[in-house]
Amino acid sequence: MLKGNLFTGSEFIEQGVIVVEQSTGTIEDAGRQGEVDEPRGEARTIAEKGSTILPGLIDTHVHFFGTPGPNVIDWVTVPEPLAAVRSVRDLLRLLHAGFTTVRDLGSKVGTHLSQAVKEEIIEGPRVISASRPLSRTGGDDDLSQLPHRIAEALSYSYHCDGPWECRKAVRKVVRDGGEAVKLYASGSLSQERKGHVHFTVEELKAIVDESHLAGLKVAAHAWSEEGLMNVVEAAVDSIEHGMWLTPEIADRIKKKGIFYVPTLSVFNATKTTRSNAYRQKFIKRHFAEDMEIAKQFNLKIVSGSDYFGADITPHGQNYMEILSLARYLGNAQALVAATSRAAECLGLNNAGQLKKGFGADLIIVKGNPLRDLEAISPARISHVIKNGKVFTPNA
The binding site for Zn ion (CB under 5 A) comprises 306
Could you give the CA distance from residue 157 to residue 61 in angstroms, rounded to a whole number?
A: 16
Instruction: Name the residue nearer to Zn ion (CB basis): 5 or 224.
Output: 224
Could you give the CA distance from residue 190 to residue 315 in angstroms, rounded to a whole number?
A: 19
Which residue number has the CB closest to Zn ion? 306
Q: At what angle do helices 80-96 and 110-118 cross, to 10 degrees?
A: 50
Minimum distance between the CB of residue 241 and Zn ion, rounded to whole angstroms? 8
Cα 236 to chain centroid, rounded = 16
Could you give the CA distance from residue 385 to residue 373 in angstroms, rounded to a whole number?
A: 20
Minimum distance between the CB of residue 148 and Zn ion, rounded to whole angstroms? 23
Minimum distance between the CB of residue 325 and Zn ion, rounded to whole angstroms? 17
Instruction: Name the residue nearer to Zn ion (CB basis): 30 or 310.
Output: 310
Instruction: Name the residue nearer to Zn ion (CB basis): 5 or 101.
Output: 101
Instruction: Name the residue nearer to Zn ion (CB basis): 20 or 127.
Output: 127
Tell me the sheet residues that pair with 19.
29
Minimum distance between the CB of residue 303 and Zn ion, rounded to whole angstroms? 14
Could you give the CA distance from residue 309 to residue 68 in angstroms, rounded to a whole number?
A: 7
Q: To 10 degrees, the CA torsion angle through 191, 193, 196, 201?
A: -70
Minimum distance between the CB of residue 60 and Zn ion, rounded to whole angstroms? 10
Tell me the sheet residues that pair with 381.
365
User: Measured between alpha carbons, how far apart are the two ends of the chain, in Å?
Assistant: 19
Minimum distance between the CB of residue 266 and Zn ion, rounded to whole angstroms? 7
- 32: phi then psi, degrees, rounded to nearest 5: -75, 145
Could you give the CA distance from residue 220 to residue 105 in angstroms, rounded to a whole number?
A: 10
- Dmax (CA) for the chain in angstroms is 69
Instruction: Name the residue nearer to Zn ion (CB basis): 198 or 380.
Output: 198
Instruction: Name the residue nearer to Zn ion (CB basis): 210 or 306.
Output: 306
Minimum distance between the CB of residue 225 and Zn ion, rounded to whole angstroms? 21
Asked if residue 64 lies in contact with residue 310, where contact means CB atoms within 8 angstroms, the answer is: no
Minimum distance between the CB of residue 126 and Zn ion, rounded to whole angstroms? 19
Give one word for 80, left, alpha or beta, with left for phi > 0 and alpha for psi -120 to 50.
alpha
Q: Nearest to residue 127, comparing CAs of 55, 176, 51, 180?
A: 180
Instruction: Name the residue nearer to Zn ion (CB basis): 306 or 361.
Output: 306
Instruction: Name the residue nearer to Zn ion (CB basis): 290 or 306.
Output: 306
Instruction: Name the residue nearer to Zn ion (CB basis): 306 or 344.
Output: 306
Instruction: Name the residue nearer to Zn ion (CB basis): 83 or 385.
Output: 83
Could you give the CA distance from residue 105 to residue 61 in angstroms, rounded to a whole number?
A: 6
Could you give the CA distance from residue 228 to residue 253 in angstroms, rounded to a whole number?
A: 9
Could you give the CA distance from residue 271 to residue 24 in angstroms, rounded to a whole number?
A: 44
Minimum distance between the CB of residue 258 and Zn ion, rounded to whole angstroms? 17
Could you give the CA distance from residue 312 to residue 14 in angstroms, rounded to a whole number?
A: 38
Minimum distance between the CB of residue 306 and Zn ion, rounded to whole angstroms? 4
